[in-house]
Chains A and B, each alone.
Chain A
Amino acid sequence: MITKKIYLYFPKSETEKPIVYQLVKEFDLIVNIFRAKVTPEEEGYLSLEVTGTQENIDRAFAFLGGFDVTIHAGNKAVHWDQDRCAHCGACVVHCPTQSLSFIDPTTRTIAYCEDTCIECLACIAACPFGACSSAF
């Protein structure tokens, strides 16, 4: 069993289709949705984690490829820009999962751990430097 993080972009033509249901039913994937959003223009974004056998995940990705859906595999829809980060630490108290934390107490350097991030987006509001951003 492996786990993959992906986020998907659905254009208007695909937002009516029960794609997640198919991922569960046809490919036996365990789905953990972090965030979903349908914009006023009726495009959709979905950020999720899928767990299953390599074979099923490959088949699921091929299935997704049959739709007009953009797959961003291997990363979350939250991005931390290391160069924009000033390492002030203002985010630390706002991050409920300690995904943003000081990794070096001497140089007071911040690091972002994508694995534990739940995409609550609190960091985006808390960071004055705009180091954190969301794909949607």
Chain B
Amino acid sequence: MIKTYAEINKKIESGKAVVLTAEEVIDYVDKRGLEAAAKEVDVVTTATFGPMCSSGCFLNFGHSTPKMRISEAWINDVQAYCGVAAVDVYLGATQLRQNDPANMYHPGEFRYGGGHVIEDLVAGKKVQLFGLSYGTDDYPRREIRTLFDINDLNQAIMTNPRNCYQNYNVAVNTSDKRIYTYLGILKARMRNMTYCSAGQLSPLLNDPLYETIGVGTSIWLAGARGIVYAQGTQHCSQVERGDNGVPAEGAGTLALSGNMKEMLPEFVRGTSFKGYGVSLALGVGIPIPILNPEILRRTTVRDRDIMACVIDYSHDYPQKTGKVLARYNYEQLRSGEVELNGKKVPVTSLSSYHKALKICGLLKAEIEEGRFLLSEPSQRLPLNQGMQSLNIRGPVR
């Protein structure tokens, strides 16, 4: 039994598509059997909500009178990159606010940065642009200071080089002192452990071999209609995988883009990681078309079928030793406690299952109501791709 994208879209348009969330599909296939379910189910919705560095946005301000070729710009005191064009800038999610003391008084608080500016823009708040230029004959203005909100911009296009990590490390700290990481605060001597994945709801864990999610896939990006525009940076598909094809480490990633003017503030949140920096938490939903029973079977992946590696963030992660302390599945991690080296260790998540579940439901509703059509990818994501290291080569003495 094989369905095509066109057939599924026709059903969506006529409001007859059968859509299940990545959680619902598990029991459904258990009850109905794979073959029967593959005939009935058209789409499975997957989602994730978590901090995603490597996010940002292109903004176009339009021209002032007289015109200005902005060469340096700050939005709410957060610097944006101006080496694009006269009034185009790129604002990165992890950019700190100007004069943030960072970790000068360790651990720094990092209360506001690029991610928070993006949140404020999506929330429709007024923010301040301050720009400088050296002035040219055609762009004479040399300084600008003005308030604006997202409606004043011509375009605000979120463009994220790396989102939706297929799987991720579980972090622990074996050292004698507390450490501050992008996976949260890790207490000394393994007194807690953190992970960051939506597990059985996560898009690329439901399509582990990239059979439907590829370049050109339509996605739900914080409520806006977005797209996968490329493989994500650090996409590294050649990794250890279970019998089900599901990787036990980072693996695949997606580069995502979408119109910020259509986004919902609830799913675009600036984040502050004490002692580490700022980032952006983002909600992403991706529909998986059930083209055949095999694709359906992969969407029935459960937390207990997905393994993740525990890495020591006090030594092995920064020193890149590659050492894995242990492996657990997400059912064990989500239970809130695992046993490591004979010691009970509490586990928490940075990724919100609650929000991911909500997004699965919102996307499901949009598809059921015929408001969201699927798109066939124009390119598949590479399957056997490794990752380069940065080797330090100095001048030969």
A, B in one complex: yes
Cα A107 to Cα B192 in complex, Å, equals 23
Q: A107 vs B357: C-alpha distance in the bound complex, in angstroms? A: 7
Instruction: Indicate if the CB atoms of A129 and B346 lie closer than 8 Å.
Output: no
User: Closest Cβ of chain A: how far from B263's Cβ, in Å?
Assistant: 16
B353 within 8 A of A: yes
In angstroms, Cα B49 to Cα A42, docked, is: 43
CB within 8 Å for A125 and B274 given contacts A90-B184, A93-B192, A93-B346: yes
A88-114 Cβ-contact flags toward B at 8 Å (1 or 0): 111111100000000000011110000
- Whether the Cβ atoms of A128 and B348 lie closer than 8 Å is no
Closest B residue, CB atoms, query A88: B352
Known contacts A90-B184, A92-B348, A128-B281; is-contact A107 B51 (Cβ 8 Å): no
Q: Is the CB of A108 within 8 A of B49?
A: no
Q: Is the CB of B272 within 8 A of A126?
A: no
A90 touches B355 (CB 8 A): no
State whether B185 touches A125 (Cβ < 8 A).
Answer: yes
- Can you list, as one digit per residue, whether each of A119-131 has a CB less than 8 Å from chain B (1) or not (0)? 0000001101110
* CB–CB B351/A88 < 8 A: yes
A86 contacts chain B at the CB level, 8 A cutoff? yes
Give chain B residues whose Cβ lies under 8 Å from the Cβ of A90: 184, 194, 348-350
Could you give, for residues 13-25 of chain A, a 1 whenever the CB lies within 8 Å of some chain B CB and a 0 otherwise?
0000000000000
Could you give, for residues 36-51 of chain B, a 1 whenever the CB lies within 8 Å of some chain A CB and a 0 otherwise? Answer: 0000000000000111
Note all chain B residues with C-beta closer than 8 A to A128. Answer: 51, 184, 271-273, 279, 281, 350
- With a cutoff of 8 Å between Cβ atoms, the chain A residues found around residue B349 in the complex are 88-90
User: Interface on chain A toward B: helix, strand, loop, or mixed SS?
Assistant: loop
Least CB separation from B273: chain A residue:
A128
A87 on interface, CB distance cutoff 8 Å? yes
Known contacts A90-B348, A125-B274, A128-B271; A108 and B354 CB within 8 A of each other: yes
The answer to whether the Cβ of B15 comes within 8 Å of any Cβ in the partner chain is no
Is B241's CB within 8 Å of the partner chain A?
Answer: no
A130 touching B354, Cβ below 8 Å: no
- B348's partner among A89, A109, A129, A130 (CB-CB below 8 A) is A89
Interface string of B192-203 (1 = CB under 8 A from A): 101000000000
Is residue B269 contacting chain A, with contact meaning CB distance below 8 A? yes
Are A86 and B354 in contact, with the CB atoms below 8 A? yes
Given A86-B49, A88-B352; A94-B185 close (CB under 8 Å): yes
- State A70–B187 Cα separation when bound (angstroms): 38
Give complex CA distance A87, B269 in Å.
13
Interface: B245 (CB within 8 A)? no
Instruction: Identify which of A91, A92, A130 contacts B336 (C-beta below 8 A).
Output: A92
Size of the A side of the interface (Cβ < 8 Å), in residues, is 19
Q: Within 8 Å CB of B51, what residues of A?
A: 128
Docked-complex contact B272 and A130, CB < 8 angstroms: yes
> Could you tell me the distance between the alpha carbons of A8 and B228 in the complex, rounded to whole angstroms?
53
Minimum CB distance partner of A91 in chain B: B348
**Interface residue? B126 (CB, 8 A):** no
SS class, residues of chain B in contact with chain A: strand
* B111 partner residues in chain A, CB cutoff 8 A: 130
Interface centre among A86, A92, A128 (most CB of B within 10 A): A128
Bound Cα distance from A126 to B181, whole angstroms: 11
Query: Closest residue to B347 on the A side, CB-wise?
Result: A93
* Contact partners of B271 in chain A: CB under 8 A: 128-129
Cα distance A62–B269 in the bound complex, in angstroms: 43
Q: Is the CB–CB distance between A88 and B350 below 8 Å?
A: yes
Cβ–Cβ contact B350 & A87, under 8 A: no
Q: Roughly how many angstroms separate A119 CA and B104 CA in the complex, as a whole number?
A: 27
- CB contacts (< 8 Å) of A86 on chain B: these are 49, 269, 281, 352, 354-355
A107 to B271, CA, bound (A): 22
Inter-chain contact B194/A129, CB cutoff 8 Å: no
Complex-state Cα separation, A25 to B349, whole angstroms: 48
CB-CB under 8 A from B273, the residues of chain A are 128
The CA-CA distance from A94 to B350 in the complex, in Å, is 13
**Contacts of A91 on B, CB cut-off 8 Å?**
348
Give the residues from 318 to 348 in chain B that come closer than 8 angstroms, CB to CB, to chain A: 336, 346-348
- In the complex, chain B residues 204-221 whose Cβ is within 8 Å of any chain A Cβ: none
- Write the nearest CB–CB distance from B348 to chain A, whole angstroms: 5
Interface residues of B in 248-303 (CB under 8 A from A): 269, 271-274, 279, 281
10 contacts between A and B (CB under 8 A): A86-B49, A86-B355, A88-B352, A92-B336, A93-B187, A94-B192, A108-B357, A128-B281, A130-B111, A130-B272
| Residues of chain B at the chain A interface (Cβ within 8 Å) | 49-51, 111, 184-185, 187, 192, 194, 269, 271-274, 279, 281, 336, 346-355, 357
Known: A126-B185, A128-B184. 17 other contacts (CB 8 A): A84-B269, A86-B354, A87-B354, A89-B348, A90-B184, A90-B349, A90-B350, A92-B348, A93-B346, A107-B354, A107-B357, A108-B357, A125-B185, A125-B274, A128-B279, A128-B350, A129-B269
